[in-house]
Structure 1
Amino acid sequence: MEEKRVVITGLGAVTPIGNDVKTMWDNVVEGNSGIDYLTRLNTEDFPAHVAAEVKDFDPSHYIDKKDVRKMDLFTQYAVVASKMAVEDANLTIDEKNADRVGVWIGSGIGGMQTYEDQMRKFINKGYKRVSPFFVPMMIPDMAAGQVSIQLGAKGINSCTVTACASGANSIGDAFKAVQRGDADYMITGGTEAPITNMAFAGFSSMKALTFNEDPKTASRPFDQNRDGFVMGEGAGIMVIETLESALERGATIYGEIVGYGSTGDAYHITAPAEDGEGAARAMKQAIEDANLSPNEIDYINAHGTSTELNDKYETQAIKAVLGEHAQHVAISSTKSITGHLLGAAGGVESVIAAKTIADSTIPPTMNYETPDPECDLDYVPNEARRQDVNVVMSNSLGFGGHNVALIFKKYDK
């Protein structure tokens, strides 16, 4: 069976640095951080005091108010970003194509705020006060479910839950669905709204978050003084479709998805495998799937969490896969600007990868001040770089040993 070419025709985003793709991208290029002091929670309850919160979000422009009340925030982010992406793709979903339009949106945690709110009601007032919408608001697949309902997409409908790799896995799985002919269009990406008391407490307790008090320098991927990640929230969604349908519609093509690698560490529930062995296999798989050589990678949007082990082992993995070319490839972590959006990270970073190709601009790694001898590659420090970019690899790694690499390529007829 002939594999179909898959292209990106629509982008949508809700992020700490902008609630639309243009604003987000302008801030990425300028290095304007969305990280600030935590306002959503009582900071006195936690040792970490900074976060990357979505600001000025108003779902009512895209969702009826009565429907908003039945959606957790992570679902609202997904629906809004999805409607933006479909609008950007100029895609009409109707009875002619609805059963060929699928949705695949990942979330690592799902409706954490809904869970906490309803648990409080149960403890204080008993089961009768728990909302009948509790379960369908909380479960991670409801972002994909609600996007399908809101847009009338009747094709394959799914959600990949692989912690911080959820968004990337979902895009890879959606890519394969289109490539093998299971759908003509997919609305895909990741979404997360984890800035809640229990989620913040859990990540604080495991000492995964930075305790740096300065929002401007808190997220510092690959820098020797990094000490943990900054929790963020939001959604990144793209519309992907067959090249045939895109050309037939006269759609704008941001780029092409050409490779997907997904592996497991079989090592530890939170720590990455030593030397980045699992991440290296995912990258190698993606390059082979794309039918490219390692030397053809122009830019890597790294997972780059600003944690000690991730940044060191991801660097080692890049060296293992790219060999000598690792010294010449541009690498950056946009988490230095957006914070770490957990299950939404791969979705937002894939949107950034598409914009990198379309705009010939490589985003910077902000706050890179003190080089780490174990992280000694070109991390595009502190300033965006104008450069023609033909091939981008985007890495996402998650608790449980999940490793994902996606490869995007400039569209060439």
Structure 2
Amino acid sequence: MDYCVAITGIGVRAPGGIGTNAFWELLTSGRTATRTISFFDPSPFRSRVAAECDFDARAEGFTPKELRRMDRAAQLGVAAAREALADSGLGGGGLDPADVSVTVGSAVGCTMGLEQEYSTVSDGGRQWLVDHTYAVPHLYGHFVPSSLAAEVAWAVAAEGPVSVVSTGCTSGLDAIGHACGLLREGAGKVAVAGATDAPISPITVACFDAIKATTARNDDPEHASRPFDRSRDGFVLGEGSAFFVLEPLEDARRRGAHVYATIRGFASRSNAYHMTGLRPDGREMAEAITAALGQARLRPDDIDYVNAHGSGTRQNDRHETAAVKRSLGAHAFDVPVSSIKSMIGHSLGAIGAIEIAACALAIEHDVIPPTANLEEPDPDCDLDYVPKTAREQRTDAVLTVGSGFGGFQSAMVLAAPGAAAR
């Protein structure tokens, strides 16, 4: 099955800078955007660091009505989608709205809006019986994740299929995969697809504190996210959004569009095992990788770079290392592997889409982002993790993977336009 969809527009709102160019500059410089939480007083919590976006919705042109209606996750998503549409050259009209679909991935939906409104109606949690009249009139929109997709659809004037994908930390990857499937089936000519999450709130921090999944390295926020390092002690919570304009490759070429990369294969598996546990052999992720490679008609040794899930938890890093070895064989020891979560944290459902943006830009520029803060690799993580410094290298084919609570394992293969198996 030929599965080739072109990425013709990219929009990113991520920690460390606003827009796709700032995002790429941060990654290639190896700088980190992790810091002490500023959105609320983090002192009561075990983990007090995060990767926050310096995002000013008013400066981005959101109206007072939109700010009243939209959760921060929706604002980040709409801003990224607008950038992607403008970047694609399709933002000036001429598209039949019925030919445009929207797919949005999100793990936790409108968390910040829901928590803020609960705090308001309950007087900071002091009242058990709450008065709903103190809430904003759009509280229901915060409650249903479909509001995120609706906001993006309105922003890009899409009247085709509109959907939400929520599969934990693979939501971004899975949303892009779903959008590609819609195009392949003929459900529209253009897809605006991506993911958004803004989870840096007391309830989210408390939840991850309870299972000790996040780092306690509070005295050194810039170096707290340490995937594959012996001293890592959990991930750094983040936020952000990335969106793409996707279209069939032939359509993109016909209109003379700039193509960053093509999406050649996508597959997903579930371990049906445990909500947070991962088997050490990495079998399910390896099966997703193998299926995505088969769909892309590429061999393991065609892969030039692996964008790792690389969350910085011992269980995930070792599981993922085993999966790469199992699926790529001997080539696993030759191919560069890195985790951008070392620089921008883990934005839950959004991160898979943000990592796809990093992969497309790696193909565009032939540069591999590094794994920041990697000082002393875990002996069980013995691959080439590109420590600290970006690497210039021909990058025609890239594998990106994700792992999510609930046992979700996803893999996607991207390639340079016209790239073939070597």
Do Structure 1 and Structure 2 share a fold, with TM-score over 0.5? Answer: yes
CA distance in 2 between partners of 1:89 and 1:234 (Å) = 20
Cα pair 1:3 1:179 within 8 Å, conserved: no
Query: In the alignment, is residue 255 of structure 1 matched against residue 255 of structure 2?
Result: no
What is the rounded CA distance, in whole Å, between the counterparts of 1:371 and 1:199 in structure 2?
Answer: 29
Candidates 405, 410, 413, aligned match of 2:416: 410
Equivalent residue number for residue 265 of structure 1: 271
Q: Structure 1: how far apart are the matches of 2:222 and 2:121? A: 40
CA contact (8 A) 1:106 1:141 kept: no
Deviation at 1:56, TM superposition (A): 4.1
The 1-side partners of 2:174 and 2:58 are apart by 26
Deviation of the 1:59 alpha carbon: 4.5
Structure 2 distance, partners of 1:159, 1:53, is 24
Provide the rounded CA distance (Å) in 1 between the counterparts of 2:139 and 2:57: 22
- Range that drifts further, 67-76 or 47-56: 47-56
Displacement of 1:92: 3.4
Measured in 2, the distance between the counterparts of 1:64 and 1:131 equals 16
State the distance in 2 between where 1:302 and 1:141 align: 29
Equivalent residue number for residue 140 of structure 2:
135
**Which string of whole-angstrom CA distances, capped at 9 and with x for unpartnered residues, describes residues 122-148 of structure 1?**
334512223331111232222211010
Quote the residue 2:126 is aligned against. Answer: none
Partner Cα separation in structure 2 for residue 48 and residue 345 of structure 1: 20
Partner of 1:194: 199
Q: Tell me how far apart the structure 1 counterparts of residues 70 and 293 of structure 2 sit (CA, whole Å).
A: 38
Distance 1:142 1:273, change over 3 A: farther
Answer whether contact 1:94 1:152 (CA < 8 A) is retained: no
CA contact (8 A) 1:365 1:381 kept: yes
Shifted more, 189-198 versus 37-46: the winner is: 37-46
What secondary structure does 2:18 align onto?
coil
**Mapping for residues 1-400 of structure 1, pairs under 5 Å:** 5-92=4-91, 94=93, 96-124=95-123, 125-213=130-218, 214-400=220-406
- After superposition, the C-alpha distances for 1:277-297 in whole angstroms (9 at most, x for unaligned) are 211111111111111111111
Cα distance change on mapping 1:128 and 1:58 into 2, 3 Å? closer
Report the TM-score, using the length of structure 2 for normalisation. Answer: 0.95
RMSD of Structure 2 on Structure 1 (CA): 1.5
C-alpha spacing 1:3/1:412, structure 2 compared with 1 (3 Å)? closer
**1:144 partner letter:** A
Report the alpha carbon displacement of residue 180 of structure 1 after superposing the two structures with TM.
2.4
Q: Which moved further from structure 2: 355-364 or 214-223?
A: 214-223
Aligned mates of 2:146, 2:92 — CA distance in 1: 21
Structure 1 distance, partners of 2:177, 2:58, is 27
Q: List per-residue Cα deviations over 1:12-35 (Å, max 9, x = no partner).
A: 001112110001101100011110
Q: Which amino acid aligns with 1:388?
A: R
Contact 1:219 1:228 in 2 (8 A): yes
Stretch deviating more after TM superposition (244-253 or 329-338):
244-253
Q: Contact 2:239/2:346 (CA < 8 Å) preserved in 1?
A: yes
Q: Is the 8 A contact 1:393 1:406 kept in 2?
A: yes
Instruction: Give yes or no for contact 1:274–1:313 (8 Å, CA) kept in 2.
Output: yes
More displaced stretch, 356-365 vs 269-278:
269-278
Taking structure 1 as the reference length, the TM-score comes to 0.97
Cα deviations across residues 64-94 of structure 1 (Å, max 9, x unaligned)? 3311210000000000000000000011374
| Range with bigger deviation, 42-51 or 382-391 | 42-51
SS of residue in 1 equivalent to 2:223: coil
Q: State the distance in 2 between where 1:243 and 1:65 align.
A: 39
